[in-house]
Amino acid sequence: EVDLVESGGGLVQPGGSLRLSCAASRFTFKNYWMNWVRQAPGKGLEWVANINQAGGEKYYVDSVKGRFTISRDNAKNSLYLQMSSLRAEDTAIYYCARASMMDYFDYWGQGTLVTVSS
């Protein structure tokens, strides 16, 4: 079965940076759009960003545009999220999710916690 494992979360000060990674296995990674979705404490799910198969097409939710960068390395079967100028409201569990051909999220990782606090 598809496996997605996130890493890189932790405690960071406001204004700081962090890079999340997602290791993918048991499917042909290079054939799929990939996404980051987050859940802030006590809140619902929020789509954050996605990237196409070759890495040349990327989209972001308005609240992270200009601060977060999604990328991928198909040779390493890995997805990344570079986060900078972090704010308290970026505190959340960040999930990596695979998108199907019809743009629903068919497989998800267990998530990695990012806490932005001084």
Partner 1 sequence: DIRLTQSPSSLSASIGDRVTLTCRTNQSIATYLNWYQHRPGKAPKLLIYTASSLHTGVPSRFSGSGSGTDFTLTISGLQPEDFATYYCQQSFITPQTLTFGGGTKVEVK
Using CB under 8 A, list all residues that contact partner 1: 33, 35, 37, 39, 44-47, 50, 52, 57, 59, 61, 95, 97, 99-100, 102-111
Using CB atoms within 10 A of its CB, is residue 29 exposed (0-12), middle (13-18) or buried (19+)?
A: buried
Beta carbon of residue 18, minimum distance to partner 1 (angstroms, whole number): 21
Number of neighbours of residue 90 by Cβ within 10 angstroms: 22
Instruction: Say which DSSP state 32 is in.
Output: S
The sheet carrying 3-7 orders its strands as 3-7, 18-25, 78-83, 68-73
Beta carbon of residue 117, minimum distance to partner 1 (angstroms, whole number): 21
Nearer to partner 1, 37 or 86 (CB): 37
Nearer to partner 1, 23 or 99 (CB): 99
Beta carbon of residue 101, minimum distance to partner 1 (angstroms, whole number): 10
Nearer to partner 1, 44 or 66 (CB): 44
Nearer to partner 1, 56 or 118 (CB): 56
Task: Look at residues 110, 6, 90 and name the one whose alpha carbon lies nearest to residue 48.
Answer: 90
Beta carbon of residue 12, minimum distance to partner 1 (angstroms, whole number): 22
Q: Six-digit token pair at 10?
A: 């932790």
